[in-house]
Amino acid sequence: MLICVPEVLSKADVGDFRRIMDGCAWEDGRLTAGAQSALVKSNEQLPPDSEVARKLGNRIVSALTANPRFLSAAIPLHIFPPLFNRYVASDGHHFGVHVDNAVRGDRLTGLRIRTDLSVTLFLSEPDEYDGGELVIEDLYGSHEIKLPAGHLVLYPASSLHLVTPVTRGVRVASFFWLQSIIRDAQARSLIFDLDTAIQALVERLGRDDPETVKLSGIYHNLIRHWAEM
């Protein structure tokens, strides 16, 4: 399941993020990579434990927990503290084919999560850089993702994926992972489809419509059946 969530951050928020990050020191992105990923990773990142990274990350998490589409698609149990990276054309930055680590641990909080979903939140507009597409592979082929600033994409952390070389400008993004209440990807996809259909019916028929109420009950009972807490 690959799902785009628009306007997680406003343009004003993105501008504020960029102004803050432009004044920060960046470090080698390989410092947070696994053994295999480090061999193909070439980018920079904000120090994950820095005060700036944590404050910006908290702002993202607050925005996510207020976004109905994100909550519907992810049904999150734990959200890993967001990280921030940039790909600079003059340095030939890219990230080759890799799979994200199955488990991630945070040194500051002690949080350890199973990475069910990976998240990329774009903080550069598409016309600010050439290349830098996020390419995600699944059973249906390869999908190139390059979204407006403030938009994000959710995809299975088990997917092979890469970031193509940036050949002009700078690509800035936040990236992180989450553990869902619903571990099974197919079940999570079915629940998202059901919730989307229910919301469409609510708009047409209202929340008090008997069939809408019945479907809402089915939705919650499916979560109750599949939830892992």
Side chain identity, residue 38 = A
Report domain extents, the chain: 3-180, 185-226
Q: What was the pLDDT predicted at 33?
A: 75
Q: What was the pLDDT predicted at 35?
A: 73
Q: What was the pLDDT predicted at 202?
A: 93
Q: What was the pLDDT predicted at 229?
A: 87
Q: Which residues contact 226 (CB under 8 A, 6 or more apart)?
A: 182, 183, 184, 187, 191
Of 176, 49, 149, the C-alpha closest to 109 is 49
Global pTM reads 0.94
How far apart, in whole angstroms, are the C-alpha atoms of residue 219 and residue 72? 11
Block means of pLDDT (10 residues each) for the chain, length 229 residues? 96 98 94 80 96 97 97 98 97 95 94 98 98 94 96 97 98 98 96 96 91 95 95
User: Virtual CA dihedral for 168, 173, 17, 103, nearest 10 degrees?
Assistant: -160
Token pair for residue 124?
A: 């550069």
Tell the CATH superfamily of the 3-180 domain.
q2cbj1_9rhob like domain (2.60.120.620)
